[in-house]
Chain A
Amino acid sequence: MNLKKYVLTSLCATVLLGVLPGCGDSATDLPASDTASAVSETGIENTDLSQDKSDVALNATEIEAVLADAQEKLQIGSASGFGWTTTADLLAQAEQALEEGELERANELSVELSKQALASTQQASYSDAQWMESIPR
């Protein structure tokens, strides 16, 4: 065994390593990014007015109505013991944005708040009816 053979063997092994899955880089051919074409199931993007703000003028009264509706749902959620820690901050931010006349931001926040408020009431009724699903066998 001489040095030349050592080098040769090491070379061979390096080539081998290159093709070993798990060691090698199996993710070089990345999928083309198609974020833009991604479809969201939530329908939130329909209310995302950043796309159509040119044709719909944001209306403070409407946003206030959305906020009022969300607050009502929040009340139901926390009254049944299923409030989330995330909503108070969202509400405060939305109200501030509204006050400062940043309607686009206020709208975004109030839509997010409505979504979370609804999800927490759904969680409350799910847990009320199906809490036993969490009992492991």
Chain B
Amino acid sequence: MRTRLWISIVGSLIAAQCFGVFAESSAQTTPKAMASEQSAAAPEDIEAQVNLDVEVFQGFFAKRFSAVEFADYRNGVYALDEASREQWLEIEEFPPYEFSVDDGETLFETPFANGKTYADCFDNGGINIRQNYPFFDETLGEVITLELAINRCRESNGEQPLGYKKGAIASISAYMASTSVDQLMHPEVASDAAFKAYNEGKKFFYSKRGQLNFSCADCHMRVSGLRLRAEVLGPALGQATGFPVYRSKWMELGTLHRRYAGCNKNVRALPFAAQSTEYRNLEYFQSVMSRGLTINGPSARK
């Protein structure tokens, strides 16, 4: 009698153990479309619309991950993935990008053939200014990213432009970011033309692309924090603050646009050129969404 009782207890334990494996479920909800004004508007209206976008965007993450502090979003996926965060913190103790930052400093200080240096092209001699990029240049009518500014500086001094994805430009960008750590990112959208660029970036971010049919928001918002195979999907909030990054997979530094191209190719979409108008507008939109976060580039990533 007692034996039978035990068998049934053990049996239910086993059953519970077996079912436990399958108890996980995730109901996918269909998001309702949000109204979005795209027409040209007065500066106050533009500001109001952009502020509303930021509020909704950041509010989404605040609600989805209520335990994550806002400031922590600059750490990308490690703000969500406690398991890999530990390992990441250890890596950041002896950062793998240290040598590249030193290289970047040397390159930054080495004069061009004409005797001028990068410092002559930038405000404040190029120190502590990373947070001012990207911005919308009202005269040129386009988004200026830090890497674009670096190459335009070279060209205006008679030097060849650098490749945009890795190498020297990533090192220089990393050095410039390292002098700006903890500075607040707060890009403005102050004109019709700026609003147009912003809206193009926004549309890019939410558009489904590639044979696999994904938008950036599909992975980095709707299912952020969940796993694709073993990889946790990081939040879109803060995606522009930590670059350039040293990725273990790359075994070197890479720029934000290199990563954009990677994410496009992963869904089998043809990528755009680094520093193309499309990617610059996307970076602009992402940076506006990350308003209020601080710079912490360069950083280490898996």
Contacts and interface: CB of A to CB of B under 8 A. Distances in A.
A134 B208 contact: yes
Instruction: Give the interface SS of chain A, mostly helix, strand, loop or mixed.
Output: helix
Nearest to A120: B211
Contact of A5 (B3, B21, B209): B3
Contacts of A137: 29, 31-32, 34, 60
Given A13-B7, A85-B265, A127-B207, A136 B18 contact: no
B217 interface: yes
Interface residues of A, number: 32
Nearest to A15: B7
A27 to B, nearest CB: 14
B11 interface: yes
A78 interface: yes
Interface stretch (B109-117, B237-245, B267-275): B267-275
B213 A22 contact: no
Nearest to B11: A16
User: Which 6 pairs show the lowest CB-CB distances between chains A and B?
Assistant: A22-B18, A83-B270, A127-B207, A134-B215, A134-B206, A136-B31
Contacts of A85: 210-211, 265, 268-270
Nearest to B15: A20
B205 to A, nearest CB: 8
Contacts of A134: 31, 206-208, 215, 217-218, 222
Contacts of B268: 84-86
A84 B33 contact: no
Interface in B1-43: 3, 6-7, 10-11, 14-15, 18-19, 21-22, 29, 31-36
A126 B19 CA distance: 41
Interface string B195-225: 0000000011011111101010110011000
Interface of A: 5, 9, 12-13, 16-17, 20-23, 78, 81-86, 116, 119-120, 123, 126-128, 130-137
A82 B11 CA distance: 55
A135 B205 CA distance: 9
29 contacts: A5-B3, A12-B7, A22-B18, A81-B272, A84-B269, A84-B270, A85-B210, A85-B211, A85-B268, A86-B211, A86-B268, A126-B208, A127-B203, A127-B207, A127-B208, A127-B209, A131-B207, A131-B215, A132-B33, A132-B34, A133-B206, A134-B208, A134-B215, A135-B31, A135-B33, A135-B34, A136-B60, A136-B221, A137-B34
Given A9-B3, A22-B15, A131-B207, 6 more contacts: A12-B3, A20-B18, A21-B18, A85-B269, A133-B206, A135-B36
Contacts of B31: 133-137
Given A12-B7, A83-B269, A135 B18 contact: no
A9 B10 CA distance: 11
B278 interface: yes
